[in-house]
A and B are shown apart, each in its own frame.
With several copies, the nearest count.
Chain A
């Protein structure tokens, strides 16, 4: 037995996150840990990897009881973790970051050349083609997630803990990761895997362990694993799939002509989104999907192009002007861009709409707003007065969504809107977006999960190297077509204009 935990208890101020949880993983086994947002998965993994001390309970490595005083202790025992919200040294070079804490050296000296070469190989294995001498800060969110995985692989750990490693990855990168996980399993590594993409769990897991409200909720052996059984483990009940509401696109709400972003100065972007239309944007990691949304919302000044909202050109620069014009952006990086982590859930929810009710803050209205959206989106927080940073990843994501839904925008831009959100809540979000679209909202969303694109979109735009290489109506959705377009190959048949 590689790693085992018995009776783990952990309480935070106001929240009892884990109550007597047992968990174990053996060498050469992939165990998936599933549970709703806030069930305690990340907390458990943090305890297993020495980043957090348990209040009670015991952790054993290879049968031997251990007490970790810090992540370094766990690492020394061969336990490596890819965190759900990785902390990274943005100023370090990629190679330095990959080898941080385990630098290659020649005598007293750092062996930078070796580290660059080794990290280049590692990253290539994950399909990340970047110069390892560049700073980490130059990477996009998904690329940073790959870097984190590379770090864990570099450690050649006996126990590899992956906490939602694919939440910002597209299917292509995810598939590469699965192949690597298969290899590691074959080589005898114990792997703990957390994901809200249940397809991945089915694909990878030898065993599924469920957590519900901080308690063990059961276990599934390889042959018991199915979508239904996993969901049952998580929520203990079955929920119906929302049916798409029929709707007819109305006037053009968002119209973009000749948009040029600074990351892709050679590419021109033209697109339109109508009222009542949900448009998905697909593409490979780093294709420039986020860049387009950022430029539309005025976060990065575009080099050229016009943006019209409901026929009116966007006046002024910056997100404040865009928000005033009725745009809203749910960014992909909730920790840095989506939330003021140190402020309360309520403050975060009201931030974009605060100024609409005059120059004074109205605490009563704020409380009502917070209560409303916490309920609507099923945010699992003991109170809206809690620091949003203390919420679990998925619940944080719901707050980011909620604060912009509360703003009642005309055009909603979403970048990975359900990143880390559990299946149940995800279904409800889909249903809500569907209803909003039916009521005349225009939605443009980026998603790395094709499943999500297929579930939501009326139309898909595929992006490759900053360019829109194709637009597919709902009846032409297919994985192959999108992959072709996403890798820059043209379709044989006639293209549908954006």
Chain B
């Protein structure tokens, strides 16, 4: 819990600051707190949050997945193709895409587990490979549903009305379900316990009779599957995917969200709640900038600076706490 205190405080500070700064004294309205804005924000948190959980799945095993953005691209290109060009019904198309992305994860896992290739190398190649293949597959044409597929797009753009003009965006609900299931898996099941043991010390876990290979496979499959799910939501949301840049850099956002949320890159450490907070922060910051600043030129700089400051403050506070409460039983 102490691990996520820092990020929780940081998030709170940013949220309050944005609410104060974006307040329009003239009209008395507050764009940040408007139902419309919160709804959009929740939608993005849902979409990117799923990606961060995907990243966290592999990171807790001590691995890394750099191909997340390219898997998003695969989902973003294949789903419209199935729906629009092949006319596959949505109920079949989405599971097909998820199956395909899960297969990608399986492939990563097999390369890592059987051939003992470094996860960084395998997924870096994946990053290049899948995007390249999608460029050839789409012939560099933009993929979208056009004006068809209104029904299935509800998954990404729909809301469950809560009254007062505010509706819970479906992607947020999907994210909450994914987060809850993941948290249950990690904390309450044998698989979760074994996953974390493997991440902390793969050799000791193996010596303890844990089926490390199968678990690692599982982590990669879960990661790519969730990336595929998020990819579906993204393309259903924006309705436009260009293979050369759809999902570009999303692996970094995903990993940043997870790491910000206290998931340790050396493996064996992480809380789903932390990942959720990290993902929130990653989405609130650009929203802040868009609502407060005159342009979004400084967006990257601000996001980078805030994450760094957050990490630094977190570390400093933790040390200070450790110094104040030493040893004694």
Contacts and interface: CB of A to CB of B under 8 A. Distances in A.
Interface of A: 11-16, 51, 55, 70-72, 75-76, 83, 86-92, 96, 100-103, 105, 108-110, 151, 262-266, 297, 299, 303, 318-320, 322-324, 329, 331, 336-343, 347, 351-352, 354-355, 358-361, 382, 403, 465-466
Contact of B208 (A13, A15, A100, A262): A100
B234 interface: no
B214 to A, nearest CB: 8
B291 interface: no
Main secondary structure of the interface of A (DSSP, over half): loop
A91 B196 contact: yes
Nearest to B60: A91
B328 A466 contact: yes
B196 A360 contact: no
B203 A336 contact: yes
B326 interface: yes
Given A340-B201, A342-B200, A351 B329 contact: no
A108 B189 contact: yes
Nearest to B199: A91
Contact of B197 (A92, A264, A465): A92
Interface string B179-210: 00000000111111110110111011111111
B188 to A, nearest CB: 5
23 contacts: A71-B208, A71-B209, A86-B204, A89-B196, A89-B204, A90-B268, A100-B210, A103-B190, A108-B189, A110-B193, A262-B327, A264-B328, A299-B207, A340-B200, A341-B201, A342-B269, A347-B193, A347-B197, A355-B190, A361-B188, A361-B189, A361-B190, A361-B192
Contacts of B192: 110, 361
Contact of A319 (B188, B194, B197, B209): B209
Given A11-B327, A13-B327, A87-B203, A351 B197 contact: yes
A13 B197 CA distance: 23
A100 to B, nearest CB: 4
Contacts of A15: 327, 329
Nearest to A357: B190
B186 to A, nearest CB: 11
Contacts of B327: 11-16, 55, 262-265
Contacts of A341: 200-201
B329 A100 contact: no
Contact of A87 (B193, B204, B269): B204
A331 B211 CA distance: 18
Contacts of A318: 206, 211, 213
A-B pairs with lowest CB-CB distance, top 5? A11-B327, A323-B209, A72-B209, A89-B200, A101-B208
A323 B187 CA distance: 24
Given A101-B208, A105-B190, A339-B201, 18 more contacts: A12-B327, A89-B268, A91-B199, A96-B193, A101-B210, A108-B188, A264-B327, A320-B211, A323-B208, A336-B204, A340-B197, A343-B197, A347-B197, A351-B210, A352-B209, A355-B194, A361-B189, A466-B328
Given A14-B327, A89-B200, A360 B190 contact: yes
Contacts of B193: 92, 96, 100, 103, 110, 347, 351, 354, 361
A70 B206 contact: yes
A324 B107 CA distance: 28
A214 to B, nearest CB: 12
B252 to A, nearest CB: 25
A341 B205 CA distance: 11
A88 B206 contact: no
A359 B197 contact: no
B320 to A, nearest CB: 13
A91 B269 contact: yes
A320 B209 contact: yes
Contact of A359 (B187, B189, B201, B203): B189
A50 to B, nearest CB: 9
A90 B200 contact: yes
Nearest to B211: A320
Contacts of A86: 204
A100 B197 contact: yes
A342 B329 contact: no
A29 B298 CA distance: 68
Contacts of A354: 190, 193-194
B268 to A, nearest CB: 4
Nearest to A323: B209
Contacts of B264: 91
Contact of B189 (A110, A151, A329): A110
A15 B329 CA distance: 6
A364 B143 CA distance: 53
A156 B86 CA distance: 60
- Counting chain A CB atoms within 10 Å of each CB, the highest count among B188, B211, B264, B327 belongs to B327
Contacts of B269: 91, 342
Given A11-B328, A322-B209, A338 B204 contact: yes
Interface in B60-92: none
A413 B194 CA distance: 23
B200 A91 contact: yes
Given A343-B200, A360-B189, A262 B209 contact: no
- Counting chain B CB atoms within 10 Å of each CB, the highest count among A16, A100, A320 belongs to A100
Nearest to B203: A87
A151 B210 CA distance: 14
B326 A13 contact: yes
A318 B209 CA distance: 8
Given A90-B201, A92-B197, A264-B327, A110 B209 contact: no
Contacts of B210: 72, 100-101, 320, 351
B268 A338 contact: no
A324 B326 contact: no
B189 A16 contact: no
A299 B206 contact: yes
Contacts of A103: 190, 193
A100 B205 contact: yes
A74 to B, nearest CB: 9
B208 A403 contact: yes
A350 to B, nearest CB: 8
